[in-house]
Amino acid sequence: MDKLSVLYAILGGIFALLFTLRQMKVSSDKDSKDDKFKESLNNNIKEIKDSDKNFDDVSKEFNRQGRNIDTLNKSIENLKTINSTTNILPSEKDPILRVQMAGKGIYLEGNPPSHFRLHFRSDDAGSTNFNIKTFVLIIFNSGKYVLEEPSLFDKDDKFSSTSLAMKPITSTVKDVKFLYFYITGTYSNLSMSKNYSINEVYRYQSDTKETWGVVHDQMKNVIDEINKILKKTR
């Protein structure tokens, strides 16, 4: 090998060594910056945790401002942006309108008794926007009967889930053996975002003074009898 070839080989080796050293320095600088960034975030979070103000209080304050401290990813998230795009709203429970049963459903009131009264409930949630009809079929000890149509619900009435609505339903009290209360129609939750239907029959029995729901064939028979009477009188 001549002297010129040797010189080129030496120069090539020097350039390769310089390039390698430069790459190592760039990589080292990048790793150093990453390590410093992570160390800075860790120190900031540690300072918050170790400060006089409890870390939970700080988190709550960030939450109130629409932000969240993410200790896993070492970042602060903007929750307001997330919430505005997902638009998550708390769910509203479905109200269940019903007559209270057993001894506090339908009952005689007054001394001496002057009328029947009943207790309504709106379980789980409040209710309003009533479009409801009610009927009272009274069976006497003699076997005779009478049908009455009390108006118990105004459309704009509002029942809360914690209240008990007490309403008089009839002043016919003498010689009553059974009293059937039929309620049918629709109502809404308090936000009026959903509608519900009701179609139920309850029976009061004089000898036990208790109120129970009527279902299946017996319920159908009572409703059919009420509809027959309505056809005769209208």
Chain segment 142-161, per-residue pLDDT in tens: 999 999 999 999 999 999 99
pLDDT given for residue 5 in this prediction: 57
Of 54 and 106, which is predicted with more confidence?
106
Residues 90, 200 contacting (CB under 8 angstroms) = no
- The verdict on pTM exceeding 0.75 is no
Residues 130, 154 contacting (CB under 8 angstroms) = yes
Q: For residue 205, what are the domain limits?
A: 96-233
Dig out the tokens for 192 from the structure: 């009026």
Quick one: DSSP state of residue 215? -
Based on the fold, state whether residues 118 and 189 are members of the same structural domain.
yes
91 within some domain: no
Overall number of domains in the chain: 2
In the sheet where 195-205 sits, what is the strand order?
145-148, 127-140, 176-189, 195-205, 210-214
Based on the fold, state whether residues 120 and 60 are members of the same structural domain.
no
| Residue 226 neighbours by CB under 8 Å, 6+ apart | 135, 137, 147, 180, 182
On the question of pLDDT at 40 being above 60, the answer is: no
Dig out the tokens for 109 from the structure: 């009131």
Residues 48, 58 contacting (CB under 8 angstroms) = yes
Based on the fold, state whether residues 103 and 198 are members of the same structural domain.
yes
51 within some domain: yes
Residues 201, 180 contacting (CB under 8 angstroms) = yes
207 within some domain: yes
